[in-house]
Each structure stands twice: as C-alpha cells, then as structure tokens.
Amino acid sequence: MSRPPYTVTLIPGDGIGPEVVAATVRVLTATGIPFEWETQIAGAGAIGEFGTPLPPRVLESIRRNKVALKGPTETPVATGHRSVNVELRKQLDLYANLRPVESLPGVKSRYERVDLVVVRENTEDLYSGLEHVVVPGVVESLKIITEKASTRIAQFAFDYARPHGRKKVTAVHKANIMKLSDGLFLDCCRRVAKEHPDVAYEEVIVDNACMQLVLDPQRFDVLLLENLYGDIVSDLCAGFVGGLGMAPGANIGVSAALFEAVHGSAPDLAGKNLANPIALILSGALMLDHLREHDAAGRVRQAVRAVLAEGHALTRDLGGAAGTTEIAEAIARRVQAA
Ligand code: NAD
C-alpha cells in the first residue's frame, strides 16, 4: 500500500526564489518520499494579484499543513510593505530560527572544519516593527525583549544541543550597554543553562563574538542570540562555508515550521539559472528531519557532499560554470541512486 503524502505549503517567492524552490522540489521528489505541494504566492509578486505581499490564504495554508518550504521574498528598503518573513514568523509564532553552518567538501573557503549552529530568536527585539517619529528629525525604534520569548529560545537551544551532540551554548549579547533588555535575555539564558548542567554555557559580548568568530569559528558550537544579532551573525557565519548559497535555515514554532535559506531574493541573479540552490536543498533536508524522515534527510546531505566533492556541476559562486538546474539534477540523481 502506498503511503499518504505530506502536504506542504510551497512559497516560490521573488527573484531567484522560484528557481531554487523548483530545484529543491526536484531533489526532495527524488527521495521517494511522497509530497503534495500546495503552492501559495507571497512576496512582492503577490501584491499585483492580491493587493498584499502576504495574502491571508498563505497563512491559512501553513496553519492547515503545519509545514512550509519557502523561497526568499523581497522587502523594499526604508519604505513600502513590511517584511513577509517578519510577518510570517510573528503570525505563526515561529519563535526559533535554526541555522546550521557546516564546512562541506570541495567548497573554497579560508575556513575549514566549521561546524556550528546559530539559534536566533525570531519574534521580537528590534524586529517588532514599532517605530515612530517623536518630533521631526527624531525617530524611535523600540527593542522589545520579554522573559517569555527569551526563556523559550534558550530552552530551544539547550534542548537542541543534547540530542545533536552539541557540547556548548554561547549566549551573545550587549548587556554591558543594554542592561535592561539584553540583561533580561541573559538572566533567562542563565536560568535555563542551570537546568542543563551537561551542556557548557558561556556569554560573549556581540562585537567580541564577531571578532572571535572571524579568528577562530571552531571554538563555537551553539550560538544563542536575540533577533537582530542573530540575523547579522548568520550571514557572517555563512561566509565561513562558501557564502549565502550554502546556508540553510528553519523557522520552528509549536504548531508550524517553515524552512527557508538564509539568503534573500538575489535580484542580480534572478531568472538567469545562476543561483546556487544548495542552501534551500539543505533547508529541505532540515524539513525531512522535522518530518522524522531522517534516512531521506541523510541521503540528501550525502548527495550534496558527493556532488560538491566531485566538483563537476558547481554553480558560479562555488567556482564552477553549472546552472541551478544542472547542480540540482546532479544532486537529485545521487539521491535516487542512494
Ligand atoms: P541576498 O541574499 O539576496 O544577496 C546578497 C548577495 O548574495 C548577492 O550578491 C547575491 O547574488 C548573493 N546570493 C544570495 N543568494 C545566493 C544564491 N542562492 N546563490 C548564489 N549567490 C547568492 O541579499 P540582499 O541583496 O541584501 O537582499 C535582496 C532582497 O532579498 C531584499 O529585498 C531583502 O529584503 C530580501 N531578503 C529576503 C530574505 C528572505 O526572504 N528570507 C532574506 C534576506 C533578504
């Protein structure tokens, strides 16, 4: 008897989104796990048809299916609509942003053997969208930090550490300056750390953390950060392992999970078959893990490693000349053969 498919909300997104999403669907289909993709339009591309970048039907679909795979969506700078990502994370309470950063074979980088995980709080901080003009020439942007969200993300980081063989959690902060907000975040991290004596715990100020990361990323294991520091440090860490084309991500909540790469819509590459789909393909592997399809997730990761090590079908960012579709096809064939 054939097994019922997983119904997954599929958001192609803007820019390179549709290309990397199609590549990822090709690879996930090659695992043999049955999927039913419920395609939903969100992002700048949705505004013309629906009058909003995040039509209510997208949220309804994710609430119903509980799992989504998403391409990047555009957010205009300093003006225009609010970020679809921030809105999705808030509306669906996807409070934990998980971003594994791992050196892979055949990828040129000044760094070797990097293996760390960024755990970023996803719902508050300066991303609360609370900005206003106090008087002309003076604006205020509110940084919201709560005990509830800080405790929850710390709990997530420590709960993640043990089963994934992680030995240390580093809380990254600026509590020397933001004594109340980052101070509260640290208090919560310390309390949760005490409940997990088997996992080492340390605290590093964010500017120092950036310098130490650049000098010696191997010294870190799990990084635990508020929303803004997590956003910045994630891109910095992507640079250790070959850039944004290599950095996967997951947004996890109690009742839904959304999988997407760290990178944005890369308008410079859009529509040219040049984007590296590996970041989203590895996000797809995280989705398979979330669905407890660990064997299939392992096959996808193994296939990515094999194609990178072989070096015949690499995209331009990896020093090759292959297109998005070619590298995806090479990975999919490996997955099928495994
Ligand atoms: P970006 O990630 O789109 O691009 C930064 C650089 O990385 C560019 O040089 C780009 O060519 C390169 N790059 C990104 N993804 C790549 C890939 N898969 N393969 C090869 N190279 C890749 O960041 P940006 O230019 O700051 O943002 C562009 C748009 O994306 C903005 O509208 C921004 O708001 C949006 N954005 C969306 C998300 C998301 O939806 N999750 C995340 C970040 C940025």
Residue range 29-83, pLDDT digits in tens: 999 999 999 999 999 999 989 999 999 999 999 999 999 999 999 988 877 778 8
Q: What is the pLDDT of residue 79?
A: 75
Q: Name the strands in the sheet holding 115-121, side by side, starting at the edge strand that comes first in the sequence.
A: 35-39, 6-11, 67-70, 257-259, 250-252, 96-102, 115-121, 222-225, 168-173, 200-205
Q: Which atom of ligand 1 is nearest to the CA of 76?
A: 32
Query: Average pLDDT, whole number, for the chain?
Result: 96
Q: Which atom of ligand 1 is nearest to the CA of 279?
A: 18
Bridge partners for 98 per DSSP:
119, 250
For the Cβ of 74 lying below 6 angstroms from any atom of ligand 1, the answer is yes
Burial of 125 (0-12, 13-18, 19+ CB in 10 A): buried
Rounded-to-integer distance, Cα 224 and Cα 185, Å: 10
**CB-based burial, 206-241: b 16+ in 10 Å, e otherwise:** beebbeebeeebeebbbbbbbbbbbbebbbebbbbb
Q: What is the pLDDT of residue 68?
A: 98
Residue nearest to atom 23 of ligand 1 (CA): 264
Cβ atoms of 36 and 8 closer than 8 Å? yes
Q: What is the pLDDT of residue 1?
A: 62
Residue nearest to atom 38 of ligand 1 (CA): 264
CA of 89 to the centre of ligand 1 (A): 18
For the Cβ of 85 lying below 6 angstroms from any atom of ligand 1, the answer is yes
pLDDT band at 86 (very low <50, low <70, confident <90, very high): confident
Residues sharing a CB contact under 8 Å with residue 207, sequence separation 6 or more, in sequence order: 174
Q: What is the pLDDT of residue 89?
A: 93
For the Cβ of 87 lying below 6 angstroms from any atom of ligand 1, the answer is no
CA of 267 to the centre of ligand 1 (A): 7
For the Cβ of 216 lying below 6 angstroms from any atom of ligand 1, the answer is no
Q: Which run of H or of E encompasses 205?
A: strand 200-205
CA of 72 to the centre of ligand 1 (A): 8
pTM of the model: 0.95
